Structure 1
Amino acid sequence: MGLKAALSKPFAAFVVKGIDKWKKNAVKAQQDTLKQLVAAAKGTSFGKDHHFASIKTYADFKKHVPIRDYEELRPYIDRVVAGEKNVMWKGKPQYFAKTSGTTSGVKYIPISAASMPEQIKAARNALLTYVHETGNVRFIDGKMIFLQGSPVMSKKNGIHVGRLSGIVANLVPAYLQKNRLPSYQTNCIEDWEEKVDAIVDETINQDMTLISGIPPWVQMYFDRLTEKSGGKKIKDIFPNFELFVYGGVNYEPYRSKIEASIGRKIDSIETYPASEGFIAYQDSQQDKGLLLLANAGMFYEFIPTDEFYNDHPTRLSLGEVELDTNYALVLNTNAGLWGYVIGDTVKFVSKDPYKIMVTGRIKHFISAFGEHVIGEEVEHALLSVANEEGVGITEFTVAPQVSTPAGELPYHEWFVEFSNPPADMVSFSKKVDEALQKKNIYYFDLIEGKILQPLIIRSLQKDAFVSYMRTQGKLGGQNKVPRLANDRKIADDLSSFITRQRDDEEERGV
């Protein structure tokens, strides 16, 4: 055992002791965080405009600070991007995390000198809580790979600009640098497929023990490794591979294929980082819930998703949430985001301590007829049936089809790339539809009431989603395929990848 591995256990015990203190008093930690944030920003332009000096309670805060998305906050953010000081937070940001939005084009998310250390600490603590629980430190002595965006940054009015993963790549602690792959030069390659090939060349003969990244792009890395090695499983290429760290998407749709690629089950840690802040991570291998970081410089608010589009939706603090209710997540941060709708939906699976699961995106749902089907529901419906029948799913997305021939009911159209397709697609589709009806009463009513016909699954060619993402210039990095859409843009683009068309009678036999 190396020195770093040996020291990690007592250090992990020390860190976890500190975490236990605030997680047992998470509501108070949030109350204190709100007071600290408001006090720190009361002299800023935003603080003056929103009467921060008079805010004493959360009720006061809600009265003076409305919820907003990026476009609504943009007048302030544009001033920050232009180089103005003391607009939303003290001084200027340390970085801008550059992201792309569907309606806002390029977005610049401020990261301050106060918020960046919280990102690094959360990533570190996710690993340390794993060490403390399992006692496994073997991965610390081996090589670690983080599949991420380019670390190359530009400058905008004196402030460094880059993708979040690229910014973090420049801030990896020195004690991890010797273990870390890929090389800086390889990490700077912009073309994702070229980059993956270069990473394969650099790592295939290394002792890889920890691999981290968004699951679909890790799967591409595994596929290329297997191809390069002449068909070997990942466990045979990297016999000491101990830990998979992931985030960005629900792992369950990818789990079976990734584990099949590895050749055995492996410990994993789910994380919930965002450009706006590191929100939660899985702190136990016995529990899939993510520990909400109540003491990380962010004050959270929660809006019941069925109220989100109301003129005056209910806004709740941590102490007011209920279990198993979907909420839109709202952030107030020590980088100067206020009442900021991040776009994600979460539900609490525990309140002692407070743990969440990410259930989807507030704008990623299907409600062409008022059914309001969300990502969590379609994932459960598909995966519960697939797991029961031994069907492998590579990727999928769902869209409504309302432009049907005269006399034919509209339906939900599922575009699925199978790694191991069902033997009977009609039977499989029927079971998925029934599973979705059980998860969503509104969908059930629409099927029963003959407003919708049961869903139809389109089987796609191998690598259909990779090819689609390539055409969109979104291959690799932090990019993800939306599970749901209310329009046909993705669905129409994927139609060219359908493997075969069944005749109408068979197709609608569901």
Structure 2
Amino acid sequence: MAFYGQLIKTILEAKHALLPHEPSDPTAAQEDQLRDLLDTAKDTAFGKYYNFAGLLEKEDVRKAYRKAVPIFDYHKMNASWWKQQRRNPDITWPGSPDFFALSSGTTGKKSKRIPVTDEMLACTQRVGRAQAECLANFELPADLFEKDILMLTSSADLDEKDGWQEGEISGINVSNMPDFMEAVYKPGIEIAQIDNWDERVQRIAEEAPNWDVGALAGIPSWIVMMLRKVIEVNKLNNIHEIWPSLQIYTTGGVAFEPYRKSFEALLDHPIIIMDTYLASEGFFAFNARPGTMAMELALDHGMYFEFIPHDETGFDATGQLLDKPKVVDYRDVEENKDYALLISTPAGAWRYMIGDTIKFTNKEKMEIVITGRTKYWLNVVGSQLSEEKLNAAVAALNEQTDSEIKEFTVGAVPTEDGNDYYHQWILGVNKEGLAADRARDILDEHLQSVNKNYKVAREKALKGVRVKVTAANKLYDFLEQKKNKKGGQIKFPKVMTADDLEQLLDFLD
């Protein structure tokens, strides 16, 4: 009998039943989070400038905060405040950050430097514990709780700077892992600190027979590449031949659905897949129950959230934020409506637009799904295509053609006369056989059938659809050339500008 596994499972189930992590009153919980944040930071330069002490005296502190503090994106926050925080204490949060998370995202070569404070690390760990408690909602054997957990992250070998360390957020989190996790964490710090991606994955594949992995965590493109290497090096038919205890995969970073077919092809039998919303700026939501990929928003863990409707009340036709957008807090959100997310966190991010769009699928359960990036809305001619809709179209294409599209991108390109547009798709496949003309027809027909705005656009200024099919590895080669980083380690942009598409097409030709 798995004594320790049974003990851990019993404790999780008891804690989940007697002291549930989710707030009984989410609205009140969010006000408490905001008050705690404002009170902690009221004596910082930012808190004094925006009079946090005065805001705390207002009857409706959420409304007062919304009125007093402007909306920031990274560039505004960094230029005005975070740059100072690298040299001076008490700028946007008490003290000085020990870490900065580097994030280049999907655009540009220059990394963003996002502060990571001790309080933010503690916040992330609280959300992680809440997710672990939710394993009580799943039917899992006791011995699973004694198995290894393989987390595929960026390098944990952080760079030393003048008074802080920096690296990607997953590497920072691994470097600050709670002591109780070290016994089951794989591949271990030594391998995790290998900077070269190919070498790190090779070492994992070589060590794989020595581990009894029960759970995986990581970005799906990374995980698929790693599992393929383990299977190749150890001459396996599927990953369960070497890790028979594998039962859980915690995904995040990008939408999982485009990778589902590639991932499941590497398994002997289905496993539990749990989605997470973990970014450089924080751990915001996690899958808390079976039967859904929707995620519970962490409303009672140290962060405050606001929401900008992703419609004409929040953004213009080109996707730019309005000067005075409508903003709501949790009290007024509606289900099945797209919102751009604003966060305020104990890392000193204040009314910070992270760039993601979400929608509530079940407000009572505080559950959301990520529908895309604000910059990934394809709406040049009113087609109103979110990343969620693009992913669904590609999933339909995979299903109808038995294809394995690993990556894709699309954008609106002007016609030669400059009066109209067409959508240019580029599909990165793992196996040959997908005909471009058939892919074009399926994508176009699917989007017209499910999106009335796209259908109207096709009858007006959107004059056609073009598709180029190529090997997925060639798309990664393009990213590697542009960013000097292994392609599978970064997110491939789902929507590109006409200029970027031209560069990519030239590269592929």
2:497 counterpart residue number: 486
Match of 1:121 in 2: 126
1:348 partnered with 2:345 = no
1:502 matched residue in structure 2: none
Return the letter of the residue paired with 1:444: K
Distance 1:14 1:86, change over 3 A: farther
Calculate the TM-score normalised by the size of structure 1: 0.91
Q: Secondary structure at the match of 1:363?
A: helix
Equivalent AA in structure 1 for residue 374 of structure 2: I
| C-alpha deviation, 1:253, in angstroms | 0.5
Deviation of the 1:265 alpha carbon: 1.5
1:391 and 2:403 aligned: yes
Q: What's the counterpart of residue 373 of structure 2?
A: 361
Q: Please state how far the C-alpha of 1:334 moved relative to its aligned partner.
A: 1.6
Query: Aligned pair in 2 of structure 1 residues 87, 478: CA closer, same or farther (>3 Å)?
Result: farther
101-110 or 45-54: bigger deviation: 101-110
For the residues of structure 2 that align with 1:331 and 1:422, how far apart are their CA atoms? 44
Report how far residue 188 of structure 1 moved: 1.6
What residue in structure 1 maps to residue 318 of structure 2? none
Contact 2:220 2:256 in 1 (8 A): yes
Distance 1:7 1:86 in 2: 44
SS in 1 for 2:463: coil
Residue equivalent to 1:501? none
- Taking the TM superposition and a 5 Å limit, the aligned residue runs for 1:55-134 are 55=55, 56=58, 57-74=61-78, 75-82=80-87, 84-100=88-104, 102=107, 105-134=110-139
For the 8 Å contact 1:81–1:108, the answer to whether it is kept is: no
Deviations 1:177-205 (A, max 9, x none): 12222132321222212221121112144
Could you say what secondary structure the match of 1:332 adopts? strand
Alignment of 1:11-30 (within 5 A): 11-17=11-17, 20=20, 22-30=22-30
Distance 2:43 2:419 in 1: 61
Partner of 1:400: 412
Q: Whole-Å Cα distance in 2 between the matches of residues 118 and 478 of structure 1?
A: 25
Match of 1:218 among 223, 231, 236: 223
Structure 1 residue 366: deviation in Å? Answer: 2.3
Give the number of aligned pairs: 495
Evaluate the alpha carbon distance shift between residue 184 and residue 390 of structure 1 in structure 2; reply closer, same or farther with a 3 A threshold: same
Q: Residues of 1 paired with 2:23 and 2:487: CA distance? A: 35
In 1: Cα distance, 2:336 partner to 2:218 partner: 28
Equivalent residue of 1:244, what SS? strand
TM-fit CA distance, 1:278: 0.7
Q: Residue 288 of structure 1 corresponds to which residue in structure 2?
A: 293
Percent identity of equivalent pairs: 28
Contact 1:464 1:494 in 2 (8 A): no
Pairwise CA distance, 1:290: 0.2
- Higher mean displacement: 117-126 or 339-348: 117-126
Matches of 1:409 and 1:371, distance apart in 2: 13
Match of 1:413 in 2: 424
Letter in 2 for 1:457: V
CA distance in structure 2 between the partners assigned to 1:137 and 1:19 by the alignment: 21
Matched, 1:461 2:466: no
Shift in Å, 1:317: 0.4
5+ residue gaps in structure 2?
316-320
| 2:440 counterpart residue number | 429
Deviation, structure 1 residue 348: 0.6
Amino acid paired to 2:267: I
Which consecutive segments of 4 or more residues in structure 1 shift more than 6 A? none
**Structure-1 residue corresponding to 2:457:** 446
Q: Output the amino acid matched with 1:394.
A: K
The 8 Å contact of residues 131 and 287 in structure 2, kept in 1 or not, is answered as yes
Residues in 1 aligned to 2:125 and 2:505: alpha-carbon distance in whole angstroms: 38
Q: Deviations over 1:212-232 (max 9, x none)?
A: 110011111122122223352
2:324 is the counterpart of 1:324: no
The answer to whether the 8 Å contact 2:407/2:472 transfers is no
155-164 or 323-332, which moves further after superposition? 155-164
* Worse-superposed segment, 326-335 or 455-464: 455-464
Deviation string, structure 1 residues 131-181 (Cα, Å, up to 9, x no partner): 443243433322221111111223333223222111111222223212222
Secondary structure, aligned partner of 1:357: strand
Distance change >3 Å, CA 176–CA 238, structure 1 → 2: same
- Tell which deviates more after alignment, 119-128 or 164-173: 119-128
Gaps of 5+ in 1: 499-510
Aligned-partner Cα distance in 1 for 2:113–2:336 = 33
Structure 1 residue 425: deviation in Å? Answer: 4.3
Matches within 5 A, 1:25-36: 25-36=25-36
Rounded Cα–Cα distance in structure 1 between residues aligned with 2:342 and 2:310 = 12
In 2: Cα distance, 1:264 partner to 1:494 partner: 38
Aligned partner letter, 1:168: N
* Whole-angstrom distance in 2 between the partners of 1:187 and 1:338: 32
Distance 1:137 1:465 in 2: 42
Q: 1:447 to 1:354 in 2, by over 3 A?
A: same
Deviation at 1:18, TM superposition (A): 6.7
Residues in 2 aligned to 1:310 and 1:145: alpha-carbon distance in whole angstroms: 43
Q: Which moved more, 1:433-442 or 1:64-73?
A: 433-442
TM-score of the superposition, structure 2-length normalised?
A: 0.91
Structure 1 residue 389: Cα displacement: 4.0
Q: Secondary structure at the match of 1:199?
A: helix
Which stretch of structure 1 is more off in the superposition, 207-216 or 347-356? 207-216
Q: Distance in 1 between matches of 2:207 and 2:502?
A: 37
Counterpart-to-counterpart distance in 2, 1:153 and 1:319: 40
Q: Name the structure 2 match of 1:503.
A: none
